[in-house]
């Protein structure tokens, strides 16, 4: 567990490099904002969370409930889900737009081409859509 990173994960670095190469500038892990978003785009009043499918309980091929200490893990992951929802609501109330990029969009059997995900995020940043989510094999 000590080796699990909360920042600078591989999916996050892929997104950061791709957006930076396309000319987007951002801040990282702003502690002043609810949920400490992974990427903050003040110019676009937008934030991007890059969520691991296991830790945030995403319904995809990369997530399976652990077979040991089931009660602990259910409580932990459900708590993460509640915190994510609360953070998003607080960001909306403060006038921010929120995007979530799920790990399965960049990794695993349902992954999408990295450039496609980054292009979709870039398009969303330039739009006026309040919220979006990017996951494997589909964009919601």
Write down all domains in the chain, each with its CATH number in brackets: 10-139 (3.40.960.10)
Asked if residue 36 lies in contact with residue 28, where contact means CB atoms within 8 angstroms, the answer is no
Q: Is 109's pLDDT higher than 70?
A: yes
Q: Long-range contacts: 20-26, Cβ < 8 Å, 24+?
A: 22/118, 22/122, 24/122, 24/125
Question: What are the DSSP E strand ranges found in the chain?
Answer: 27-28, 39-41, 46-51, 97-102, 131-135, 138-139
Per-residue pLDDT tens over the stretch 67-89: 999 999 999 999 999 999 999 99
Q: What is the pTM of this model?
A: 0.90
Q: For position 108, what pLDDT does the model report?
A: 85
Nearest to 16 by CA among 87, 138, 122: 122
Q: For position 7, what pLDDT does the model report?
A: 73
Q: What is the mean pLDDT of residues 5-9?
A: 73
């Amino acid at each position: 567990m000590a080796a699990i990173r909360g920042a600078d994960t591989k999916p996050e670095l892929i997104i950061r490099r791709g957006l930076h190469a396309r000319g987007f500038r951002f801040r990282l892990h702003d502690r002043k904002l609810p949920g400490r978003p992974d990427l903050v785009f003040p110019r676009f009043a937008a934030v991007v969370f890059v969520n691991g499918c296991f830790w945030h309980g995403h319904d995809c091929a990369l997530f399976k409930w652990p077979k040991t200490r089931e009660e602990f893990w259910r409580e932990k992951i459900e708590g993460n889900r509640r915190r994510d929802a609360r953070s998003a609501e607080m960001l909306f109330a403060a006038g921010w737009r929120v995007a979530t990029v799920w790990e399965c969009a960049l990794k695993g059997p349902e992954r999408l081409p990295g450039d496609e995900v980054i292009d979709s995020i870039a398009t969303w940043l330039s739009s006026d859509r309040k919220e979006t989510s990017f996951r494997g094999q589909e964009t919601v």
